[in-house]
Amino acid sequence: MSEITNPQDAELEEVVLGACLLESKAITLVVGILRPEVFYTETNREIYAALQGMYHAGQVIDIMTIKEELARHGKLEFIGGLYTLVRISSRVVSSAHLEYHARILKQKYIRRETILGFHKLLALAADETTDIDDTLADAHSLLDRLEKECGTTEHLRSMLQLMEDTIKLIEVRAASNKNGVTGLPTGFTDLDRLTCGWQAGDMIVIAARPAVGKTAFALHLARTAASAGYHIAVYSLEMQGERLGDRWLLAATTGVNPDHLLSGQLTPSELRQIHEASTELSHLPIHIDDNPSVSMDYIRSSAKLLQSKGKCDGVIIDYLQLCDMKTDQHNRNREQEVAQASRKAKMMAQASRKAKMMAKELHIPVILLSQLNRNVEGHPDNRPSLSDLRESGAIEQDADLVLMLSRPALSGRATDRKSTYSTDGLGVMGIVKHRNGMTGELYFRHDPSMTKLEDYVPGIDWMKKNTTA
């Protein structure tokens, strides 16, 4: 393999600097593109650093003022004195094409950083004393940094441009909506009515206590969206993929006993149903990753790769508290446990923020499943609130919509006190935060195994009792 040289162009660097020295306003064209470290030649780097500092200070820029600025910081002799400044300024006649030249320099800088970063990663990968997970985390961080450096999208828009973009979005909604649903369908009529479906760029948190049915709810959402033609990526950090397959099969069949499925004692009829459902489900555009120890950076990279292939319209993560949680649990004293708790809260905040950024960057809904703390058990009918979210501060702040699940039957009551519905098969969806719409309480029905979920319709007895003639 031939030796890799650092991409650089000292002559082009001087052309850019010369334009900035020649025309006082030229710096405004490049200051948002270039930083001092972009310049490969050290003398050029010092000159640009002085130019940048003067610009931010609101000072007039010309050859003499930049000379005085460099002299004040003891850098004039280092760059070669006034002669160097005059020589550089004489290289150009105007600032034409200045932005284009600046972007070329930026690209060369990114290439240098890429070469340096990957050299370091290669050295770490070859060092067997380092943790490979840490090396992979460094790789993700490097790619994130390089992608940010490459970002050339202009986010600052005029009101005219904003209105044009908004109208385009409204027209797309009007043309593509299905019964008022403009996002990914949820499979619940009332929830679709309230949210218009899961919206692109939103981070949705679905929270519940263990065994309430978070995973079953998420699988229902994935199947519904996939059945409508949307590509869904499911990252199951808690449950093996085959167990998810069991649940999808049970949800897609009628009369299959869950105990028979787990024990292998299926009747011929049940086995036939399972095979038929499997054939149907296998065509759904769902991708499952059941790696139990992944980070949010890994999920983002994986989802981004899927999207580049046109196979990621939404992401479901089960569940948040298991992300970025690789820690050493051995021989920890009380002080270390306290420190670990603080670190965990910080990591949850970071994971939550990364999930929100992923939703915006990929322009897809990201659904996060999350655990609730034990305080829920002390609430009336086990109805949770926002404060019951573990590490709630960051999650509550980042989420566009927070949906809390509960099952009134678990409180031991036969009748739900709030709705007066029978608690048998009753599930509650409490929308406790909705950045773009209403909050409220909705209901769904589930079977005993929590595999089949559907719209809740009150029983005949309740209807007779509560319907006025």
Digit-by-digit pLDDT tens for the chain (469 residues) are: 456 778 899 899 999 998 888 887 788 888 888 889 999 999 999 999 999 888 888 888 888 998 999 999 999 899 899 998 999 888 776 667 888 888 899 999 999 999 999 999 999 889 888 888 778 878 878 887 887 777 644 566 778 888 888 898 888 888 888 888 888 999 999 999 999 899 998 999 988 888 888 888 999 999 999 999 999 999 988 788 888 888 888 888 888 888 888 888 888 888 998 899 899 989 999 999 888 777 787 788 788 878 878 889 999 998 776 665 544 444 445 455 445 455 566 666 777 788 888 898 889 999 988 888 777 766 766 777 777 775 556 777 788 899 988 888 887 788 888 888 888 888 889 898 898 888 888 999 888 888 888 888 887 777 777 776 4
Return left, alpha or beta for 310; rule: phi > 0 is left, psi -120 to 50 is alpha, else beta. left
Looking at the chain, the domain(s) classified CATH 3.40.50.300 span: 172-324+332-466
DSSP track, 334-357 = HHHHHHHHHHHHHHHHHHHHHHHH
Cβ neighbours for 134, distance < 8 A, ≥ 6 positions apart: 124
Q: pLDDT tens digit string along 300-319?
A: 878 887 887 888 999 999 87
Q: What is the amino acid identity at position 352?
A: S
Question: Would the pTM of this model clear 0.85, i.e. be above it?
Answer: no
Helix/strand/coil percent split, the chain, to 5: 55, 15, 35
Distance of CA 368 to the CA centre of its chain: 10
Strands 232-236 and 314-318, by their bridges, are parallel
CA dist., res. 407 & res. 349, Å (int): 28
CA dist., res. 346 & res. 391, Å (int): 9
What the block records as the tokens of 443 is: 């209901």
Looking at the chain, the domain(s) classified CATH 1.10.860.10 span: 10-150
Return contacts of 240-246, CB within 8 angstroms, 24+ apart: 240/290, 241/288, 241/290, 244/215, 244/219, 244/288, 244/290
CA angle 202, 179, 367 (to 5 degrees): 20
10-150 placed in CATH 3.40.50.1010? no
**Three-class secondary structure assignment of 396-433:** HHHCCEEEEEECHHHHCCCECCCCCCECCCEEEEEEEE
172-324+332-466 placed in CATH 3.40.50.300? yes
Query: 370 and 205 in contact (C-beta within 8 Å)?
Result: yes
Cβ neighbours for 249, distance < 8 A, ≥ 6 positions apart: 256, 261, 274, 277, 278, 281
